Chain A
Amino acid sequence: MESIISIKALSKRYQGGFEALRHIDLEIRRGEILALLGPNGAGKTTLISIVCGIVNATEGEVTVDGHDIVRDYRAARSLIGLVPQELTTDAFETVHSAVSFSRGLFGKPANPAHIEKVLRSLSLWEKRNNRIMTLSGGMKRRLLIAKALSHEPRVLFLDEPTAGVDVELRRDMWQLVRGLQADGVTVILTTHYIEEAEEMADRIGVINRGEIILVEEKTKLMQKLGKKQLTIQLQAPIETVPASLAGLGLDRSPDGETLTYTYDAAHEQPGIGDLLNKLNNAGIGFKDVHTTQSSLEDIFVSLVKDTR
């Protein structure tokens, strides 16, 4: 698939020598929702800041829709909207004037109808004449989103958009992001809520210590790395796993009441039916069986732990 942002061999060394990014290569596809996951200090914000022109890269190249972010910064930046991680807003301006200001800053002529649409979609229209300092934290977050959308960007960066946002609003925000995607906007979001990535993203990238350790389609990722577990509740506790079942990797719980069988989702393997037959043959009766699939969260934790 065609990529809209292309990051090549990008490195960032901050003053003082700290290497925040090491040789990042990343292609972001047109129209996708990409979730960037990574522990605190991994380099997510640094990466976004470089693409948006807030931080200078030490090495490497970035193009946005074919425009180099340094040589052709005007064309590149006018395609991008950024919602920063920190709640940085003016205090005394009104909501409406702040959003109009952003549109002008990005070189677009005034368009009150668009501003109204954006404010309404973020439930800020009623607050349009309020000063920013009178808004709540969640409203300020939405204001930042409104500012980023004011100039109709083709690429939207959301740096932890749902931090400090209540559950209902978070769902509204997801809805909004899906709507943007339907309009062809590419969305890159960072989050520490893994269920958010699981819910929203088409692809997932994991950054740790300045390196991209994985970029994968969400569904493939979950298939590839997701472990499935079959839990079997026995009718009567057993002392040991019978010899006929040894070598299958069955785990007996300490109380002997359940057996668990862990298998890879990728290889729909040594049939569960087979296993259950073997249990029957061994004369082990069971009350209940259920399977669980490891969540993205488990996958993420194990990935990051491996590289620590």
Chain B
Amino acid sequence: MFDFRFYEIWRSEEFVQVLFEGAFNSFWLTTVGGIFGFILGTGLALLQDKSVFVGLRLLARSYVEIIRNTPFVVQMFFVAFGLPILLDMQWSFFASALLAIMLNFSAYFSEIIRSGIDSTPKGQIEAAYSLGFKKYDLVKDIILPQALEKVYPSLVSQFVFLFLTTGLISEIGIEDITWAGRFISDRNFRDFEVYLVLSAIYMSMSWMFILILNGCRRKLFPWRAEK
């Protein structure tokens, strides 16, 4: 039987601190990247479905296709090393990680939001038009709120899934949970225990995200609770 020695992690104050900081970094990068990714994703969904300009539709569509069909690592390296050269600008790896998360999440979110927009009952659109709504208000006040309510559970599970892929940001030196794991196992050589602990941390953070987001649901969509 394998001899588990978790104390090889706990006994070092430094290891524990690295884990906590890693969890904290993963948490806020994913949260902030997720929020901006959601905003961008909503914009991309609307551009694809509702823009009158064919060029913009195509642009948004291509963007989503590219992101969803290339690996996150490649996107992140592009943001961290390619873009700075192309734009002749410098930014921190933190900024790169955040940007990469946002750009990556947005494409997945936009696909889900689109499915919600597409499922708007025809009667809702007709009712709004018959009252004299312009398209802009129709989309903003009628279509979007209902679409988001409908796809909220899918957005939450997509978000949690994407959170689990963010460990790749450790590849550009961001000190997230995965980076903390590597830091510790490089020093105590207890890879098995370390990655078990990492899994436990990822899992509890996923549950925490789900709890928080499900808790927001009633506040965000009060009409749902009242049914």
- A and B co-occur in one complex: no
Where the two chains meet, the residues of A that have a C-beta atom closer than 8 Å to any C-beta of B are none
